[in-house]
Structure 1
Amino acid sequence: MRLAFMGSPDFAVPALRALHGAGHEIAAVYTQPPRPSGRGHKETPCAVHRAALELGLPVRNPVRLRRDEAEHAAFAALGLDAAVVAAYGLILPAAMLRTPRRGCLNIHASLLPRWRGAGPIQAALLAGDAETGVTIMQMEEGLDTGPMLLAGRVPIGPRDGTPAVHDALAGLGASLILRALAENPPARPQPEEGVTYAPKLAKEDGRLDWRESAAVLDRRIRALNPWPGTFFSHGGETIRVLEATPEPLPVTAAPGTVLDEAPRIACGDGALRLLRLQRAGRGAMEATAFLRGYALPSGAVLG
């Protein structure tokens, strides 16, 4: 089958490799343009771009697609049977959605209609969902509203974080898109009930609000690491929290109070034991090693 593949981050790479390995003809790979990265701000291609170059596939990096008639014409000239989209990062206009013979198929990292939008993996973890999954969806102009072709489920373990769930869903998405192309299953509309949205995350979403329960803060830490990361303020510094565990202790101290040398921090309900921390410009450290070089005295109140 003659395809275009449209994706950018690591999540999309297993699907690209699976389609190529299955013998599909990939006429073009569309990705986000290279971005400045690292201390030298060197222009760096995204994960899908790098994988496409490794596989010898042609890459296109349009900055925008809406109202770009030349880009629409170039897409139409590919003569596609289908386009596969996985976390591409640009909205496809109607002119492009209609071009491939079998339309555009999206690999979405949730069990639609739950968690439509930009951050479905993090949203499922933040909400404490017991499971999530991947939906293969026929794309239309609405935000993740198209009819569904296939879906697969993945359980979320009690200590799972975004990296583990991300990798499981990326592999599942690769297998499901191969099935969708081979089997051409009938599309079914999404249910009207149960719709939820996963907004795009910002750095400030990672600030820990100690008034929340320890269980909620634990979910936030597991959901938002490695990006945008979770943090608190103390002594004029921003300290990243990479790992923690909730403890259902009876706590009477004000939220944010350091309770002991563990260190345990008082929350709105229970306490949060910090396990791995990182100062700006430093490496990540186990809490015991971190505290040998940075004081979090009992009774201090964290911001």
Structure 2
Amino acid sequence: MKKLILLILFSLQLSCISQDRKKINGVSFVASRDQASQEHVDALLRINAESAAVMPFGFIRDVSSPEIIFDTERQWFGETKRGAKQYIALLHKNGVRVMMKPQIWIWKGTFTGTLKMNSEEDWKTLENSYTKFIMTYAQLAEETQTEFFCIGTELEKFIANRPEYWHDLVKNIRTIYKGKLTYAANWDEYDKTPFWKDLDYIGVDAYFPLSEEKTPTVEQLVEGWVPYKEKLKLLSENLDRPIVFTEYGYRSNDYAAKRPWLVDRSKDDVNLQAQANATKAIFESFWGEDWFQGGFVWKWFIDHKSAGGGGDNRFTPQNKPAEEIIRTFYKNH
């Protein structure tokens, strides 16, 4: 009997290790006005995605405003606590692992990395407001047995100015949430983030500039990844934490890999091949590495049939050649 118990415990341990090392083949499941349906999840399963980021939102008036408004009746369903819970339940029902990734939206789309207060009083107000926001969703993540929790996204100046707050925040989150923790650092921020050892994964939003070419080849893009890849590997080894691309993806436009972070409203210069090549290059560069844990495609709209398409130059790979590349790599990795 003792041997049997030890064997069962050993098997469970191996199962946990295997689950921890399993590649995250994920998508960023965009919050919608509506509830998610089985049809929406079926489209995700068809590309062999086994994980999805669910992203409720909080809103801030401007970069010096300390108050975060969240979980209100004025928000879209998917941006609220109720919506996140419905999305998670449906994804889990289909065997899809989930990362809860609460995000901040500053009015007019101002970059969140510039969020910075002008007084100590405002910093304290922001900290209290952010704690309320993030702990609300950490509690929901624990209640729903969500596998991963992202404690913030691209908040460089907030972190640089208040590092002790973030160390304490992680401690507070761990008192109620027992899953894996990460933070989504911007591509030019991750090497300055001070609390990686407090977390389980080094999270990077992987919008690294790779090429000046209009339509770079896969080979050119793989070469462009080399210096960044070496730096990421070294950080992973030094901190003994795997790298996760909390966001990765490219627009389907000309010069897609020159400034991959660029968001504008232009509707011209559609270039499906540039997006496809960049998508293939990131897979070839990273998915075979032991220190790399996988990532979440930016972005995947829940209503697949009306998303993307051949005339769309935005980030989504849906109904474009890049979708087939994702399907193939996720199937084989």
TM-score of the two chains, using structure 1 as the length reference: 0.32
Larger Rg over CA atoms: 1
Q: Compute the TM-score of the two structures, normalised by the length of structure 2.
A: 0.30
From the two aligned structures, give the one with the greater helix fraction.
2
Identify the structure with the greater strand proportion. Answer: 1
